Amino acid sequence: MTAKYIRIAAAAGALAVAVGALTACNDSSTASAPIGTEPVTTTSMPGSASLKSSEASASASSASQEASKQAADGASKASTSLPATKPNTSTTPPGTFPGDKQPPSGVKLSAKDKAYLSDLKRQKVSFMGDDDNNVALTMGHYVCDAKAQKADPMLVKAYVRAAIGPMTKTDAEANAKSDKVIAAAEKNLC
């Protein structure tokens, strides 16, 4: 009979531990913040708790002062051991540096490419940041490739319009310039 009571007590104890663990996991009062816009205030009761709190803050203050002193000592040591960061004046950028206004060396423009670019220049169509005509040539060849694959003309125009858009002020201007790019590519490249 006592064994029966021991088993019941052990089961009840295990159940109490499980319920307590689930309750602790579900308690969100310490992990949540107030949702409203009212400020949160805290109060402390006078007595030994506030005395212990002031002693703890005093020791934390002295610890933080010691830590900042050590950090300052470490920073002064680190600042004297940093390497010099002057640029090396003996180096020069390569001849094909992207800042150059010419196409990269070794790239030859075909007669079709030159005709297409001159047609765009004549119509005053340019792409933002396209000093080397790379974007213009890419768009022209895209138009030709899309036409060869029988792509939807509206999709092609949307793609070209997205590339030319940052250089325009209105939708009508963007549409007109994208039409010019497509026409110049079809006339000169395709």
Would you state the pLDDT for residue 98? 53
Would you state the pLDDT for residue 90? 76
Q: What is the Cα–Cα distance from 52 to 159, expressed in whole angstroms?
A: 69
Q: Percent of the chain having pLDDT more than 70?
A: 55
pLDDT at 106 over 80: no
Q: What is the Cα–Cα distance from 125 to 62, expressed in whole angstroms?
A: 69
Instruction: With cut-offs at 50, 70 and 90, classify the pLDDT of residue 50.
Output: very low
Q: What is the Cα–Cα distance from 133 to 110, expressed in whole angstroms?
A: 13
- The predicted model gives 25-29 an average pLDDT of 55
* Global confidence as pTM: 0.45
Buried b (16+ CB within 10 A) or exposed e, 3-35: eeeeeeeeeeeeeeeeeeeeeeeeeeeeeeeee
